[in-house]
Structure 1
Amino acid sequence: MFHVIGGLFDAHELAALQAAVAALPWEDGTLTAGAMARAVKRNAQATPGPAREAVLRKVEAALLAHAGFVSAARPKGFARLMVSRYEGGQTYGTHVDEAFIGGARTDLSFTLFLSDPDRYRGGELVIEDRIEDRAFRLPAGELVLYPSDTLHRVEPVTEGVRLAVVGWVTSRVRDPARREVLFDLDAALAAAAEGDGAQALRLAKIRANLTRM
């Protein structure tokens, strides 16, 4: 299941985040790629250091404070977050994310777009689905959350600069079908809470018991 999530930052917060990312130092993106991905990865990533860590802490805090992200991902933790940069034809060919990063299982991946779409060309995140490929090129401040076991790629950036934060989530609910049921239950519970209190209580019980399974 794919989720497009916005509302993580207000305009001031987003502008500050964009400025902080633009000022980061960069290194070769292949330094963190797996053996197979290394052959198709052509981008830059933010160099580890206090400035990068401050950016990633802000992003992580925003994600964990966002009800929609928490409902969709059920995060137990983040395997890794990093900042990526594409320009001058850089691309990331078709690949699948590593099953474990730093010893943590990767259940879900996300790309948080930080560049305004009118500031660059190309750079679509293309995720292969069973029926058709899905391409995402979202407004700055929005992210797409998707299963880590999917094949995906980043199309060449032919003009401008594409900045993004990418990350991998270890979910408390490993089974994607169960996560989807719980996500739907959250939506139903929110709607029921505005009207029938007894119905909301029954839905809350179902959600809690499903989470225990």
Structure 2
Amino acid sequence: MLLLIPNVLDAATLARCSDLLDQADWTDGRVTAGSQAATVKNNLQLPEASPFAQQLRASVLEALSKNPAFFSAALPRRIYPLLFNRYGGEANSFGNHVDNAIRTHPASAQHVRTDLSFTLFLNDPADYDGGELIIEDGMGGRAVKLPAGHLILYPSYSVHRVEAVTRGTRLACFSWLESMVREPQQRELLYELDMSIVALRGEQGETDTTVRLTSCYHNLMRMWATV
């Protein structure tokens, strides 16, 4: 499932992130790439321990924690500490690759199974040419280039790439997460059920039907979730 989640960041948070990104020092993005990805990765990243990265991470995590669509679709158990990248100039692309199945955070030694990946766009698409995130889905690649503050959530097993940026600079936050529900089909069923309950409750209020469906949702979570 590919899911676009709009307006994860509001205008004030985006402005604060933009100020921090303007002040930050960047390093070679290959520092977090696996052996295959490192051969095709050509971008810049903020060092994970950078104070700028820490402030950005806190702002984005706060926004994600308040976003019901993100939680419903991802059911996050663990999120790898958020990273921030920059494409432009000579460091401008990332060829076809698959994300590592397990990410191990060097500071904490905590392992995260990468069930889902996400990219949160941090500047306006008019600021740059190129830079599309291409996600292969078996029917040709889907090109994703979103407004600032919008997020795309997609399976980590997907082959994907970032096209070359030919003008300007592309800024984004990205990471991987381990879901409480490992199986993609089960996650998708739970998401569809949750969204249907929300819609039904909005149309009809709290009825016997919404209560029964909510009970089904939580009983399925009890069957499938690992916490």
Same fold per superposition (TM over 0.5): yes
Q: CA deviation at 1:49?
A: 1.7
User: Structure 1, residues 110-154: CA drift from partner, whole Å, max 9, x if none?
Assistant: 000011111100000000011121000000110100000000000
User: Structure 1, residues 28-84: CA drift from partner, whole Å, max 9, x if none?
Assistant: 011111011100000000123222111011111111210010011001120231000
**Aligned position for 2:24:** 24
Is the CA contact 2:87–2:170 (under 8 Å) kept in the aligned structure 1?
yes
Equivalent positions of 1:21-60 (< 5 A) are: 21-47=21-47, 48-60=49-61
Distance 2:84 2:73 in 1: 22
Distance 1:40 1:198 in 2: 54
Secondary structure in structure 1 of the residue aligned to 2:9: coil
| 2:139 equivalent to 1:137 | no
Q: CA RMSD in A?
A: 1.1
187-196 vs 125-134, greater mean Cα deviation: 187-196
User: Structure 1, residues 146-194: CA drift from partner, whole Å, max 9, x if none?
Assistant: 0000000000001100000001011111111011111111111112223
Equivalent positions of 1:52-201 (< 5 A) are: 52-89=53-90, 90-102=92-104, 103-194=111-202, 195=204, 197-201=207-211
Distance 2:81 2:159 in 1: 19
**Aligned position for 2:108:** none
Distance 1:10 1:207 in 2: 30
Distance 1:10 1:60 in 2: 13
Name structure 2 gaps, 5 residues minimum.
Answer: 105-110
Is the CA contact 2:117–2:153 (under 8 Å) kept in the aligned structure 1?
yes
| 2:214 equivalent to 1:207 | no
Percent of matched pairs sharing the same residue: 44
* Runs of 4 or more above 6 Å deviation: none
Name structure 1 gaps, 5 residues minimum.
Answer: none
Across the two proteins, how many residue pairs are aligned to each other?
213
Is the CA contact 1:112–1:166 (under 8 Å) kept in the aligned structure 2?
yes
151-160 vs 7-16, greater mean Cα deviation: 7-16
1:79 is matched by which residue type in structure 2?
Y
2:209 is matched by which residue type in structure 1?
Q
Relative to the length of structure 2, the TM-score reads 0.91
Secondary structure in structure 2 of the residue aligned to 1:80: coil
Secondary structure in structure 2 of the residue aligned to 1:127: strand
Is the CA contact 2:57–2:81 (under 8 Å) kept in the aligned structure 1?
no
